[in-house]
Every structure is written in structure tokens, then in C-alpha cells.
Chains A and B, each alone.
Chain A
Amino acid sequence: MTTDALAAAPAGLVRPRRAPRARAAAGWETGVGHALMVLLSLVCVFPVYWMIVTSLRPENAIFSNALWPDAASLENYAYALSAIPMGAMLVNTFVVATAVTAIQLLTGILAGYAFSRWRFPGAGALMAAVALTWLVPLQVVMIPNYLLVANLGLIDTLGALILPHVASAFAILLLAQAMRSFPREVIEAARMDGASHAHVLWQVVLPNLRGTLASLAILIFISTWNEYFWPLLLSRRPENSVVQIGLQMFVTAEGTAWGPLMAASTLASLPILAIYLVLQRQVISSFMKSGLR
């Protein structure tokens, strides 16, 4: 990432010129910096570690506060899988998150292309209408949306979890921005050769936006996987719902069966943690983009 290069530069430039006492002070400060970061890292990671450790403890050792487990067992997982339809819910969540990711990318690509390529009456107003959607919290529109889903007969179905997420302002704005910075000459050349807009979009522009598309896909997938509020409104039976709802039902029903609860929690976050382990840098940079715009 570029930030590393930038961060390294001032230190390298400045250090040698410092007086010895200043250098000693800087060393002390670096020590404090490390200590701070280690502490912060522990606060951030320990709960996740403790979740996994607890989930692997056999029943008689659940209340142990030992930081390292003596014996590991999978009985908590077996119990969690039999107590709630965990398998079906994981599949449902996967289906919803994948569908939402694919559809949001598609609508984002089309809308982004329209905003970045053409001048048309109302473009500014439509762009504002897209950007302002994030000012409307889901809680404000939940009742009308619930009524709409009920009228469509979609309560307790996966379709209802996907439909409201067909488009997102974030995907549209990010892709419009990325496409705007795409070199115009390349597009013009392709158009001269008689390529249609569809051809330009799919064969010329998109292959060059793979990085942005991948970041966006990761971001959408993770936030859909983690979504809680909307499924909570619509779900009736656990086998038709997503894993977050199943976990919430588990907390309410067996809130103090800590071993199985931590096993269910681990299962519910496993795909996300797996993505993070494999694509860590990509994930971080996608979220950074979401915050930096």
C-alpha cells in the first residue's frame, strides 16, 4: 500500500539529522508506540481468540480461565449443529451474500458507466438522489418496507433479504469514480473502431477495473454476511433465515450454554475470518476506501 511508502519516507529523511538526545527521545517514543499497539492489538484480538478457545473446550473445562486449553474437543460443535439448523442457515447466508454481491456489482457497473460516460438532463439530480440514500437509516423506512414485503408474499423467504439490496449508493459512486479516471483515449479509440457501448464497458473498461471490483465484492459480501436488522424483521423460522438470526435465537434460548454458543459463533464468523486470512491486505484496503471517500 502507498501509505507505507509515505510513512517510511519522513522517518528516513529526518532521523539522521536529529541530535543524539532527540534520537534517544525518539527511541523512547517508539517504545511507547509499540507498547500502545500491542495493548490495542490484544484488546482487539483477545475476544475472538477466547471465542475459539472456549468453543474447543470439553464441557468440564468450560469455566476454566486458563489462557491455553489443555484438551480440545469438538463436542460443542456437534451440539450447536444439532440444536439449530446451522448447516441450512450457513447455506442461506452464503446464497444471500453471493446474490447481493453479484447484483450490486451489476447495477453499480451499469449506473457508474452511465454517470461517467454520458451527459444527460437530470444527471446531477440523479447523482444526488443516489448519494443521499445513505442519509436514510433502515429504521426510518422499516415499516413501509416490511409492508411491501408482506404484500409481495415474501415474508420468511430469502428473496426478501436480497431485494432491498439490489443497488447500493456506495458501489455506484465508487465505480463511477473509478470509471471517470479511466483514460478517455482508450474508450474513444475503441468507439472509433466501431465498438458498441456494451462492448466498451465489458471488454475494455471492466477488465481494467478488476482491483476495484474485487475490493467492492469483498466489502459487499462481508457486510451482507454480517447484516442483522433487516433479516430480524423478516425471519420467522430459523431454517429459512440467515446465520446471524440463528445465533441470536441461540443466545436467547440457551444463553448460558457457553461452549455450544461459542461454537455457533465461530461457525457464523468462520467464512469471514477465512476470507480475511487469505485476502487480508485486499480486505483492509477495501474498507479503507469506504472510509476515505
Chain B
Amino acid sequence: MTDAALPTAGPSGPRRAAPRRRGLSPSRRLYRAARPYLYLAPALVCFAVWIYEPLAQAFWLSFQQWNLLPTSPRTWVGWDNYRNILDLPQFWQALDNTWLYLLGLLPLAVALPLAVAIFTQDLPPRARNLYRALIFVPLIVPPVVAAAVWRWLLDPRYGVVNGWLEGLGLEPVRFLADPDWALWTITFITGWKLMGFATLILSAANASIDPSLIEAARLDGASRWRIVRDVRLPLLSPTILLLVMMVILLGAQWSFAYIHVLTEGGPLGATTNIYYLLWEFGFATLSVGWSSASAVILFLGFGVLAALIFRLKEKVSFHDD
């Protein structure tokens, strides 16, 4: 990406052009050399102050014990925070729940949209535009609004969903209070927000597949399903992996608002994922060290995961053309 930037810096690039210009004063030359950095400064200062310095500080705080109050002392405790967290059943429960969220999100935000995108490729453009406008709505709805609305829809006594279930002769479900249901309910709401978006991305990728490839396969006598399996899916795999990566890296983060508004991590920690645990450690129990130590574990874990998926994506993208 950065290599592409180089050719655009034509003859006006400061390093080559400046010395050749006649009679440039030293201060003028200095300004020319500094100019790119001046243009970048506002953004870089922002990232340094709000992302990179705090990241370093989080590492530092993860070795300390402190309760966030400016007056109380900070003590250096070495690896104790990490040891304590790894001994904590809640941490492992939250980690397990994080995986369950991701496992539940993948069908909703990748598999289902993929099926829909392939099934609807031949729809007329007008119908397609209407559907597109409708399935996009959940993505832009504010998360807290989504939480409030689903809370109402799923209310055990008066909610319309339980009304329908009753109409079918089924028992009402306590979607958010039953430990067996709560995590999947939150997963569903998170997936509901993403479904339409994923469908659009996959439809666009599916539509940009060269029609002559499909036609060639058809002339070779390939059935419709073989075309999907052997032509479309391989060509869609970079987009699929992109979505998988988005879900894995961001999915558990997106569910934070729903967990916080709807269940506060309960019942019995059944919906607490690792992001929610960080928040609880930091701002409910005020243990800065524990929160920072789990933040470091989380950051390193997801960093490794991101690197792996990125590798895989590069590999799959190879036979793109």
C-alpha cells in the first residue's frame, strides 16, 4: 500500500527537487522537508495521545495494583495480576462465552448472507434495490435503540415474539433471563445488525465475478451447484475471509452495548464476554491492574489471530485472477 504512494511524489518531492531550486534559504528548505510531517501532525498526535501511549500505559498498569483513585497508592506487583486472572473461573467463563458469541455470529453474519447472496443474484435490479434498502436498516440503528427495541419484542409477558409463540401453542421463553437462552439472544441481536451489511458485501462481490467464467463452466456441463461450489465459492473466498475476520475481531466488541443494556453480563455471568469482563474489572470493581492485565492478554490474543487470518487471506487471494 505504501509503495504505491512513492511514484506519485513527482518532481516536486522535497528531497530531489529542493537542492536544485535556485537560492533556497535554509529555513525555506527546512520547511519543505518538514511539510509532510506538518500535514500529518494532527492525526499522528491524536493517535499517539489516545491510542499508542495508552496502549503502552496499559502494559505498565498490568503489573500494578491500584483502584483508580488518584489519592490511593499504586503498588508494583509483577506478574501477580496475570496469575490471579488465569486462576479466576470468571475469566475462563468469559473467554468461553467470547468463543460462543463468535461461533453463533459466524452463521448469522457470514453463512446465511452468503446463501442469500448466491440465491438472489438473478433478481431484477428494482426488487434488488428495494430489498437492499430494507435489509440495511439494522446496521444504522443505534445499538442502544436496538437493545431497547429487542427488549420490548422479547419481553416474557407482553412481548410480541412470545405472543406469537403462545399462538403456536408454545411456552413463553425468558429470552434474556434464562441462562440457557441469554447468550444466544444477545448473539442474535448482534447478528441481526450485521446480516444485511454482510449480504450486501457478498452480493457485490458475487455480482463482480466475471460472467464468462460461469458461462464456460456451464458449457462444460457443470450443474448449478457445481458452479457454486467450484467457481463462485473459491472466487468469493477473499470476501468471505474478510467478513470472518471482521466478525472475529469486532463481533465480541459489538455485543458490548447489548450486554450492558440488556443483561449486565448475567444471568450468573452467562452473557459476560471478555470485553464486558474488562469493563467490569475496570469500572465496576475498580481493579485497574486486573483490567489492564486482561486487556494485554486480549490485545495479544487478537493480534495473533488477526495476523493468522491475514496470512490466510493473502494465500486465498492468490488465485483471484
Contact = CB atoms under 8 A, between A and B. Distances in A.
Nearest to B133: A280
Given A248-B144, A269-B145, A141 B160 contact: no
Interface string B42-56: 111011011111110
Given A110-B39, A130-B47, A292-B201, A251 B137 contact: no
B308 interface: no
Contacts of A126: 40, 44
Given A7-B125, A118-B13, A137-B298, A128 B58 contact: no
A136 B34 CA distance: 29
B148 A6 contact: no
Given A11-B122, A124-B2, A144-B58, A54 B152 contact: yes
A48 B39 CA distance: 43
B36 interface: yes
B158 A127 contact: no
Interface stretch (A33-41, A68-76, A209-217): A33-41
Given A133-B47, A167-B47, A148 B54 contact: yes
A51 B150 CA distance: 9
B61 A113 contact: no
A167 B141 contact: no
A37 B132 CA distance: 9
Given A40-B131, A176-B5, A232-B260, A184 B10 contact: yes
Contacts of B123: 30, 33-34, 37
Interface residues of B, number: 114
A26 B122 contact: yes
B122 A29 contact: yes
Nearest to A187: B10
A251 B147 CA distance: 9
Contacts of B215: 10, 13-14
A45 B132 CA distance: 11
Contacts of B135: 37, 40-41, 44
A143 B61 contact: yes
A4 B39 CA distance: 39
A48 B2 contact: no
Nearest to B53: A144
A140 to B, nearest CB: 4
Interface stretch (B81-89, B92-100, B299-307): B299-307
Counting chain A CB atoms within 10 Å of each CB, the highest count among B4, B9, B122, B150 belongs to: B122
A56 interface: no
Nearest to B44: A126
A139 B131 contact: no
Contacts of B76: none
A43 B189 CA distance: 11
A148 B13 CA distance: 38
A33 B122 contact: yes
A133 B55 CA distance: 10
A265 interface: yes
Nearest to B112: A40
A44 B155 CA distance: 19
B197 A141 contact: no
A199 interface: no
Interface string A140-183: 11111101101000000000000110110100100010001000
Interface of B: 1-6, 8-15, 33, 35-37, 39-40, 42-44, 46-47, 49-55, 57-58, 61, 68, 70, 116, 119-123, 125, 127-129, 131-153, 155, 158, 160, 163, 192, 195-197, 199-201, 203-204, 207-208, 211, 214-215, 218, 224, 242-243, 246, 249, 253, 256-257, 260-261, 275, 278-279, 282-283, 288, 291-292, 295-296, 298-299, 302-303, 306
Complex A-B, nearest 9 residue pairs according to Cβ-Cβ distance, in ascending order = A144-B54, A10-B211, A119-B9, A141-B54, A114-B39, A167-B43, A7-B207, A41-B134, A167-B46
